[in-house]
């Protein structure tokens, strides 16, 4: 699992970490049951503080993307991912709305916008299917 952080980004490091791990799962590079590095090793690997990694893991744990197994350590939730809850739907819509609004302002058509989304969907699901 390669993690790419942008230390200049406005997004907190732990958020970038969360996003990248979720993208890793979405792309199939990280599979249910698969172990994740310990907070300490990941932190030292990517050169950040262990508390920052810990916060990312805590958030992922809260949403049940990962779980902390007392023996196996941190693993991608083997029982599958959290579903499409009402809460989640609202959160997603709240995030999509300002993006769509700006796209509309800038003259993007419905088709163009959908194409962008489709393109990203493809990009994620087809990432590195053969290599690991």
**Residue ranges that bind DNA, judged by CB under 7 A:** 12-15, 38-41, 48-52, 54-55, 57-58, 68, 70-71, 73-74
Radius of gyration of the chain from Cα atoms? 17
Looking at the Cβ atoms of 41 and 62, the one nearer to a copy of itself is 62
Q: Residue 106, interface with a copy of itself (CB under 8 A)?
A: yes
CB of 71 to DNA, least distance (A): 5
Q: Tell me which H or E stretch contains 69.
A: strand 66-69
Using the Cα atoms of residue 3, residue 23, residue 86 and residue 32 in order, give the sign of their dihedral: negative
β-partners of residue 74 are 68
Rounded Cα distance between 117 and 119, Å, is: 5
Among 1, 33, 35, 95, binds a copy of itself (CB under 8 A): 95
- CB of 66 closer than 8 Å to CB of 57: yes
User: How far apart are CB 27 and a copy of itself at their closest, in Å?
Assistant: 8
Residues 65 and 22: beta-carbon distance below 8 Å: yes
Binding site for a copy of itself (CB under 8 A): 7-9, 12-13, 19, 22-23, 25-27, 48, 62, 65, 67-72, 81-84, 88-89, 92-93, 95-108, 110, 113-114, 116-118, 120-121, 123-125
């Amino acid at each position: 699992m390669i993690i790419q952080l942008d230390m200049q980004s406005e997004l907190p490091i732990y958020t970038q970490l969360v996003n990248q791990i979720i993208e890793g799962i979405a792309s199939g590079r990280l599979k249910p049951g698969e172990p994740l590095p310990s907070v300490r090793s990941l932190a030292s690997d990517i050169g950040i503080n262990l508390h920052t990694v810990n916060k990312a893991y805590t958030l992922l744990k809260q949403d049940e993307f990962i779980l902390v197994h007392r023996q196996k350590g941190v693993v991608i939730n083997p029982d599958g991912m959290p579903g499409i809850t009402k809460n989640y739907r609202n959160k997603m819509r709240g995030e999509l709305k300002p993006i769509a609004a700006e796209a509309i302002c800038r003259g993007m058509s419905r088709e163009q916008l959908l194409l962008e989304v489709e393109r990203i969907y493809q990009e994620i699901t087809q990432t590195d299917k053969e290599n690991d």
